[in-house]
């Protein structure tokens, strides 16, 4: 099992109750070396104040168990919107989440590119660049890194193609605190083939040429309910979607990615499905 221990594999876990219980849940479902959380309810604008005792308990358990931790932005903000009021509110949430991550000792915050709302990809990119610059400038003494998650090429989306991601990264002023979270389902939906070993090698060669693997800090390992290039952002259980077991295994076996933490965001329609998906990933790693 040493190969699994050397390859950080986790899943998104709940913070319900108390923050440190997220660590318990990560251990219970079989996470090895990594997991992801929301720092608050993902479907609300407001967030309750962090309590010092909860911060201390969370930090302590994370350290004791050797986890790399990641947080994800809530769903409501849109950092590419042309609606000025909505945009301003979204940027404030981004700043707040950076501060919450800093307090909790979570070094990476994943954010979606968002929707340009029918304006243009270029204008949407300008807004997300501005949002990142504002958040990073305001938190200049923080070590929290922003991870841009590639989009699934749904209507009005920005960030679905590697050159788009590269352009945003290049225009963020503090390059040391910006990186990429590569979502496999989103990439597949956007037309990047991942269902065979050769396809995976080509896709990540493209990523290396366009963005640079040094900017990749996290992989969201999700199979896809939709077909290649159909723009459908619907996650599926590992090996049961259109990417399939061969593609999942090829991603996990690519030597250039082996040190990159993998976090699953697969469906949990029935109790125990998260544990099953983690076990499937571990078995695929051991087959390499």
pLDDT, one tens digit per residue, over 192-208 is 999 999 999 999 999 99
Pick from 213, 117, 211, 116: nearest CA to 165: 211
Neighbouring residues of 209: CB distance < 8 A, sequence distance ≥ 6:
none
- Res. 5: pLDDT tops 70: no
Q: What per-residue confidence (pLDDT) applies to 156? A: 81
CA distance 55 to 159: 33
The secondary structure of 93-119 as a DSSP string is HHHHHHHHHHHHT--EEEEE--B-TTS
Q: Quick one: DSSP state of residue 225?
A: S
Q: What per-residue confidence (pLDDT) applies to 275? A: 96
Assess contact for 224 and 185: CB atoms under 8 A. Answer: yes
CA distance 168 to 178: 10
Pick from 19, 50, 12: nearest CA to 34: 12
Q: Would you state the torsion angle of the CA atoms of residues 209, 213, 215, 216, taken in this order, to the nearest 10 degrees?
A: 130
pLDDT, one tens digit per residue, over 234-269 is 999 999 999 999 999 999 999 999 999 999 999 988
Q: What per-residue confidence (pLDDT) applies to 1? A: 45
- Res. 72: pLDDT tops 80: yes
pLDDT, one tens digit per residue, over 49-60 is 999 999 999 999
Q: What per-residue confidence (pLDDT) applies to 270? A: 84
Residue that has been written with the tokens 């800093």 in this structure: 102
Spell out the domains of the chain, with CATH numbers in brackets: 2-286 (3.20.20.150)
Percent over 70 (pLDDT), the chain = 98
Catalytic residue positions?
43, 72, 75, 112, 149, 183, 186, 220, 233, 235, 265
What average pLDDT does the structure give for the chain? 95
Query: Per the confidence metrics, is the pTM higher than 0.85?
Result: yes
pLDDT band at 153 (very low <50, low <70, confident <90, very high): confident
Half-sphere exposure of 184 (CA within 13 A, CB side): 35
């Amino acid at each position: 099992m040493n190969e699994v221990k050397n390859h950080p594999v986790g899943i998104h876990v709940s913070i319900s109750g108390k923050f440190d219980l997220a660590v318990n849940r990560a251990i219970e479902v079989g996470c090895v070396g990594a997991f992801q959380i929301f720092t608050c309810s993902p479907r609300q604008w407001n967030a309750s104040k962090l309590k010092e005792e909860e911060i201390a308990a969370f930090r302590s358990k994370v350290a004791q168990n050797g986890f790399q931790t990641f947080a994800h932005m809530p769903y409501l903000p849109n950092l590419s919107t042309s609606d000025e009021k909505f945009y301003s509110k979204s940027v404030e949430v981004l700043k707040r989440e950076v501060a919450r991550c800093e307090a909790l000792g979570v070094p990476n915050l994943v954010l979606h590119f968002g929707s340009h709302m029918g304006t243009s990809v270029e204008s949407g990119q300008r807004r997300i660049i501005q949002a990142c610059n504002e958040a990073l400038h305001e938190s200049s003494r923080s070590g929290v890194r922003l991870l841009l998650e590639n989009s699934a090429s749904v209507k009005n989306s920005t960030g679905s193609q590697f050159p788009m991601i590269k352009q945003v990264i290049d225009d963020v002023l503090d390059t040391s605190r910006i990186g990429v979270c590569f979502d496999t389902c989103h990439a597949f939906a956007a037309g990047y083939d991942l269902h065979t070993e050769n396809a995976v090698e080509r896709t990540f060669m493209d990523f290396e040429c366009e963005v640079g693997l040094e900017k990749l800090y996290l992989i969201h390992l999700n199979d896809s309910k939709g077909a290649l290039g159909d723009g459908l952002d619907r996650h599926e259980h590992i090996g049961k979607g259109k990417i399939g077991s061969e593609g999942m295994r090829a991603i996990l076996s690519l030597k250039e990615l082996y040190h990159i933490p993998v976090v699953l965001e697969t469906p949990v329609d029935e109790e125990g499905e998260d544990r099953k998906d983690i076990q499937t990933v571990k078995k695929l790693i051991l087959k390499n």
